[in-house]
Amino acid sequence: MSDFEGAAEALRVAVGASRLRVEPHGVRDVLLSFTVGDELRFAFDARPGDVASSLESVAMGRREDGRAWRLPVGPHTLIAGCSGSGKGSLFWSFAFGLAPAVRDGRVQLHGIDLKGGMEILMGRDLFTTSATSAAEAVAVLEMLVAWMQERAGQYAGRLRTHRPTADEPLHVVMIDELAALTAYCPDRDLQRRAETAINLICSQGRAPGFMVFACLQDPRKEVIPSRGLFTQMVGLRLKDLSETSMVLGEVAVLSGAHCHRITRDVPGTGYVLPEEGGHPVRVRAGYASDEAIREVASRFRTSTQIPVVVPEHGGEPSTRRPRRPRASEVRDD
């Protein structure tokens, strides 16, 4: 197989294919998969999810074989890509996919955007909490850790798997730039607390219904120490081969996941590594315009919003849960 891997580029050029994937087939054979043309060449719009969705997965866009790309809901997910690689397309495609469940209360989104809220505040009506500073982010994360541990205690000996309902929703933490909390935060105490909370949610949150969906530019281990706790990875355009290997692994690179070869003119395009293993799949997420974000946020807005209160003198955040709104208080669409 190594001979074919070494000759893969020459074979691709000789056939005139846009890409070639080399993979074992049985004990002695090798399967060469040539892709001619490109199903992902042209951009398309992101759309809200199906109202009747089971929340097992959400529609994100398209695969290179023309089929719909659906991303499982539940696994902690890391999106890595250079500036301009289209991380926003994946961020909003995932939020759009969950939007109907946000409106009916089965999902609560918690947005963290340390770029002053430039990304999440455009769709603020989708988010139960919105944090735009490190202090606010830590308050939200520590509040969610307390909720997670409380729910896990209630489930102990009774349930092993969470099923989202309006009374016990799935909590999804959506982080626009993870490194702003784990590496670039000037306040070391806030950085430490953020890392601890993220690690706790990623290591303990799935069973009781808490999920992290995070984006970042720099995938190095020193920038994101908890990288190994994310079990679902998507690599967009990356700087070089080493970064691609950091995100998806050397085996994925040998199987054709070449994030470092993605061009700038196809933002939102990348490779996804399924949680259960297997070969990487080339995908593209839909594009979410500013107008689409505002429209979806207005149409599917959450009925539960919690103001983020930063405790004074570094105290612990309040863990008091908001009550479900009465029917007369729910905003009309």
pLDDT of the residue at 295: 97
Q: What is the DSSP letter of 158?
A: T
For residue 20, being part of any structural domain is answered with yes
What is the Cα–Cα distance from 265 to 41, expressed in whole angstroms? 9
pLDDT tens-digit profile of 259-301? Answer: 999 999 999 999 997 766 678 899 999 999 999 999 999 999 9
pLDDT tens-digit profile of 113-163? Answer: 999 899 999 999 999 999 999 999 999 999 999 999 999 999 998 988 899
For residue 27, being part of any structural domain is answered with yes
Q: What is the mean pLDDT of residues 205-227?
A: 90
pLDDT of the residue at 225: 80
For residue 333, being part of any structural domain is answered with no
17 compared with 331, residue with greater pLDDT = 17
Ranges of H-type helices in the chain: 2-6, 8-15, 87-103, 134-155, 179-182, 188-204, 241-248, 250-254, 290-299
Beta strands 68-72 and 170-175, pairing class: unpaired
For residue 6, being part of any structural domain is answered with yes
Instruction: Name 223's Cβ contacts closer than 8 Å, sequence gap at least 6.
Output: 179, 182, 183, 216
What is the Cα–Cα distance from 97 to 266, expressed in whole angstroms? 21
Same domain? 160 vs 47: yes
Same domain? 17 vs 78: no
Per the annotation, binding residues are 81-88
Q: What CATH number should be reported for the domain holding residue 162?
A: 3.40.50.300
pLDDT of the residue at 326: 42
Same domain? 102 vs 119: yes
Same domain? 205 vs 310: yes
For residue 245, being part of any structural domain is answered with yes
326 compared with 304, residue with greater pLDDT = 304
CA atoms within 13 A of residue 245's CA, in its CB half-sphere = 6
Same domain? 190 vs 219: yes
What is the Cα–Cα distance from 242 to 230, expressed in whole angstroms? 19
Same domain? 217 vs 302: yes
Q: Under DSSP, is residue 271 helix (H, G, I), strand (E, B) or coil?
A: strand
Same domain? 119 vs 181: yes
Bridge partner list, 282:
271
For residue 327, being part of any structural domain is answered with no
> Do 176 and 216 contact (CB within 8 A), yes or no?
no
pLDDT tens-digit profile of 157-171? Answer: 898 889 999 999 999
Q: Give the structural domain span for 211.
A: 39-321
For residue 85, being part of any structural domain is answered with yes
How many Å from the N-terminal Cα to the C-terminal Cα in the chain?
A: 58
Instruction: For 201-304, list the strands marked E by DSSP.
Output: 210-216, 232-235, 269-273, 281-285
Listed residue (63, 64, 62) closest to 17, CA to CA: 64
Per the annotation, binding residues for ATP are 81-88
> Do 105 and 71 contact (CB within 8 A), yes or no?
no
Same domain? 96 vs 13: no
Listed residue (245, 129, 118) closest to 180, CA to CA: 118
Q: Is the pLDDT of residue 333 over 50?
A: no
Tokens found for residue 237 = 């355009």
**Phi-psi group of 163: left, alpha or beta (phi > 0 → left; psi -120 to 50 → alpha; rest → beta):** beta
Same domain? 68 vs 186: yes
pLDDT of the residue at 50: 76
Helix (H) or strand (E) holding 72: strand 68-72
pLDDT tens-digit profile of 45-74? Answer: 999 987 766 799 999 999 998 899 999 999
What is the Cα–Cα distance from 220 to 238, expressed in whole angstroms? 12
Same domain? 21 vs 65: no
Give me the sign of the Cα torsion angle 238, 241, 242, 246. Answer: positive
Q: What is the mean pLDDT of residues 306-314?
A: 82
Same domain? 269 vs 136: yes
Q: How many domains does the chain have?
A: 2
Same domain? 61 vs 30: no
